[in-house]
Chains A and B, each alone.
Chain A
Amino acid sequence: MAKPRIPPANGDSPDRWEAQLRKGALEMAALASLWQGPLYGLEIIRFLESQSSLVLAEGTIYPILNRLKAEDLLAAEWVEVETGHPRKYYSLTESGRHRLRRMADAWMSFSGGLSRLLGPVLERQEIAP
């Protein structure tokens, strides 16, 4: 099944609500992708594609990483690799880890509540009352 793409921030989308929802979760997803260790930008994009349904316009992730770094939630360093060119690796800072834990707690509580609310909606096939 084809995964929906998140359009760039200024792009028009027929399903704007879903795009906004996914975009809002992207900051948390970017932090979560670094929970197990440092990754560089393209690895984060690939990680999000493989581990979640967050397939994003590639230009979206870098400004978010930049902002998270400015907020001291992420650290970044250029690392020389044997093959190829240097890459900018991102890792969670201590405050980034704390923030992510709080986000994850709030998200689980929020999504759990909404799932209960939406359960009956998904059980009924017909839309008319």
Chain B
Amino acid sequence: MTDNEQIASYLTALRVHLASHGVAEQDEIAREIETHIRDSVENSVLSVGAVLERLGSPQELADQYREGFLVGKASRRLSPLVLLRGSLRWSAGGLFGILAFVVGLAGYFLGVGLVLFGLIVPVWILTHRALHPPASLWTGMASALLLCLIGGLMLLLTTLFMRASLRTFQRWQSPL
């Protein structure tokens, strides 16, 4: 295998392991690593193979990028999926991560459940209007609205909790 083929093969494998990053981010990382490889070979007596060995395997390198990237990105996002993925990555490192993931999952489930229930109740009341006296109809509607509000509040609080947890995790990763 020629030097160029070795480099291309390494970068291709790196991109595969960086699949969770955007294409632009993958391009940027691959470009920088390629520059590093070529600079290292030009400025030393090392072969391409030796430089690649010093870099670590594509998977090891991608893992290091992914850990910082996923948690950092998640701590600034609102999407429950991204936040849960970030905390899942953190949970691999310890008990607090597992706790954050479980609390987040429970919070989102409960919040979504309450909102859905709050939306279904008025529909049920309206379709079974004959069964209810007018006074209880308004009470039921008000209760449904309250459920929606509590569910929404729970989703908001869970999101804030997850973001704060992930920021804390980032600080723990930093030396000071």
Contact = CB atoms under 8 A, between A and B. Distances in A.
A binds B: yes
Q: Which of A10, A59, A84, A103 has the most CB of B within 10 A?
A: A59
Interface in B12-50: 29, 31-33, 35-36, 38-40, 42-43
Interface in A79-104: 84-88, 102-103
A9 B56 CA distance: 10
A38 interface: no
A117 interface: no
B174 interface: yes
B74 to A, nearest CB: 12
Nearest to B66: A63
Given A63-B68, A67-B69, A10 B63 contact: yes
Given A8-B64, A59-B64, A85-B35, A102 B55 contact: no
B40 A102 contact: no
Q: Do most interface residues of chain A lie in helix, strand or loop, or is the interface mixed?
A: helix
Given A57-B54, A59-B55, A85-B38, A25 B175 contact: yes
Given A58-B55, A59-B56, A88 B32 contact: yes
B176 interface: yes
A94 B19 CA distance: 32
A70 interface: yes
23 contacts: A8-B61, A8-B64, A11-B56, A11-B60, A25-B175, A27-B175, A28-B175, A28-B176, A40-B35, A41-B32, A42-B39, A57-B56, A58-B36, A59-B61, A62-B36, A63-B61, A63-B67, A63-B68, A67-B69, A67-B72, A70-B73, A88-B31, A88-B32
